[in-house]
Copies of this chain bind each other. A is one copy, B any other.
Amino acid sequence: MSDRVEFRDLTDPEMARETIAGLDLGGGTETVPLTEARGRVLAERVDATIDVPGFDRASMDGYAVSARETFGAGETDPVTLEIGGEVHAGEPPDVEVRDGTAVEISTGAVMPQGADAVVPVERTSPEGDRVAVRTAVTPGENVMLAGADIAAGERALGPGTELTAREIGLLAALGVASVPVRSKPRVGIVSTGEELVRPGEELDHAAGQIYDVNTHTVAAGVEAAGGEPVTYPHAGDDLDELESVLRTAAEECDLVLSSGSTSASTVDVIYRVVEDLGELLLHGVAVKPGRPMLVGRFESAAYVGLPGYPVSALTIFRTFVAPAIRETAGLPEPTTATATGEMAVRERYEEGRLRYVPVGLVTDGDGRTLVYPVDKGSGATTSLTAADGVVAMAPDVSELAAGEPVEVELFSPSVRAPSLLGVGEDDPALSRLLDRVDRPRYLADGSRVGRRWLEDGISDVAVLAGPIDPPEEAVEIGSWAREWGLVVPRDPAESDGLESLLDGELSFVNRPGDSGLRATFDDALEELEAERETSRGELARAITGYERTARAHESPARMVARGDADAGLGLRVSADRLGLGFVSLGHETVRVVAKPDRADKSGAQQLADALENSDVFGSLAGYERSDS
């Protein structure tokens, strides 16, 4: 293991930002059809080359007249003129307005010779081939003169203007069919790592393969920042191939981003290619996440090496790289997207580096925003969606106290706190019920964790299974029963699962200690104490694999399906779904309970409605709605 990857002199984040801002990311111009111009940024000033309108134009339906003929006209004292003809929009006038005449005219039509005003049709009365004009008009009234909107030679739009529907409208009015816009910087994305597989392909778990996340998140981020992502195939374990991919990307793109493996050999290749083709400007930035961050320059492209973990890669991309892409694309920095709130719990960090803490938001009963850290562990991809933004902790701040006000940098201006924050048991009926709630967030971390979050005043609702009782003050929103037991192979070797389990003959998979189902199972063991004249502890020790746990409701069943275990603690619904055998051990209740002052939140209400009206329980084997 080389120590080449240890970065001892970490660069100050501000300096890293400046270095990246100083990189040349291209910045050319291209011409696009007006129909594809939305969201692009004008590269040059556009002056009008025609008058709009190009002719003196009637702006109302009525009669084109010479204004002086109407002087003195009024409701009781109309002036009567001969109707000399008519002019419609889109046709050249074939009449003139002579003394004593008026010409019928429609909105948008060319004013005929001799006319300088339009009398609105409402202020006239037809009288055979004559018209009574009941109002006086002044020259120019109800007429838009040629060029009055914008005249040839006038400045229409300046360089740097972002083209929305409105600017596109003005360009259309000027007859501009294609527009010079700033080119989107081409951003090459190279994910390194032998373990990466493209989504859609087969994974070999045993070989430690995982799906490539960064290529997709970074590409989406590049697109959102106004760049054009160019993804390259994974270089895999072939260092020559990595070198060749990097060289190609450096030639084809304005900016090359790599992410993934920080293995010594990979980093060596990257160092070599960057130094061969250009210059390494800095390596290692004093920020967490994101330590192994490289910045360099190729001949005609810039280079930034992102960290490998998805949350880290995206955070560093958003904070350091996206602003440079937007700048090149000419797009404005997005409107400040921040929320202020109070820390719901204490957060400590003492490494003396700038740290971006991913956080979630929740609105409490008084409408205040609470902020809680999201830490699913390094490399967790679910942190991507479980967080709403980040709180920056300065290098000299080692603690954020509970209740301390903090500013959250939201992931986008449209991020809001979820309508409902629930924590608790993992349950397939609940998954379906949540589909009826608009923007919920549910953390399936187990009933015990759910109870704790509710007690701590963070979450809105807890979902508690089996013997995990709700806190005293909680109000129940609804409940159901689910059949639990042992999930066993389709044709189990032993007919009585529990007996064999207690005899230690089966290899078992349990659920984690925070799970309500696990608590139900433990209670069942306790009931056997008397019958078997032993303690629960003894019974547990007799079970091969009692300590072996798997995270989610379906996980033990899947291990049985794969042949990795003989029996798993689980639900009838999982056994049915996976076509496995099932030894029923009973029913347990799952309760949804709310903090009283949060029960009225829209998400809680929607969940209550869903509970009352959904047919989800009928469609899941072993499920029953509870009477309540």
Residues of A within 8 A of B (CB): 1, 34-35, 38, 45, 47-48, 50-55, 57, 59-61, 87-92, 104, 106-110, 121, 144-160, 162, 164-178, 193-201, 203-221, 223-224, 231, 237, 261-263, 308, 310, 314, 332, 334-335, 376-382, 384-385, 411-414, 426, 428, 430-432, 434-435, 437-440, 442, 444, 550-555, 558, 574
Contacts and interface: CB of A to CB of B under 8 A. Distances in A.
A585 B467 CA distance: 99
B34 A384 contact: no
Contacts of A107: 262, 308
Given A148-B377, A169-B214, 5 more contacts: A106-B263, A108-B208, A151-B554, A166-B411, A334-B414
A26 to B, nearest CB: 20
A208 B90 contact: yes
A110 B214 CA distance: 20
A90 B212 CA distance: 12
The oligomer's copy count stands at 2
Contacts of A263: 88-89, 106
A214 B414 CA distance: 28
Contacts of A195: 89-90, 108-109
A98 B255 CA distance: 47
B153 A206 contact: no
A255 to B, nearest CB: 17
B223 A151 contact: no
19 contacts: A34-B199, A38-B223, A51-B205, A52-B210, A89-B208, A90-B193, A110-B206, A145-B551, A149-B376, A150-B552, A153-B554, A168-B217, A170-B384, A173-B211, A173-B213, A175-B200, A176-B200, A334-B414, A413-B413
Contacts of A45: 431-432, 434-435
A88 B434 CA distance: 40
B213 A169 contact: yes
Contacts of A332: 414
B217 A172 contact: yes
A550 B168 contact: no
Contacts of A201: 175
Given A199-B175, A224-B38, A434-B155, A381 B213 contact: no
Contact of A444 (B155, B200, B219): B155
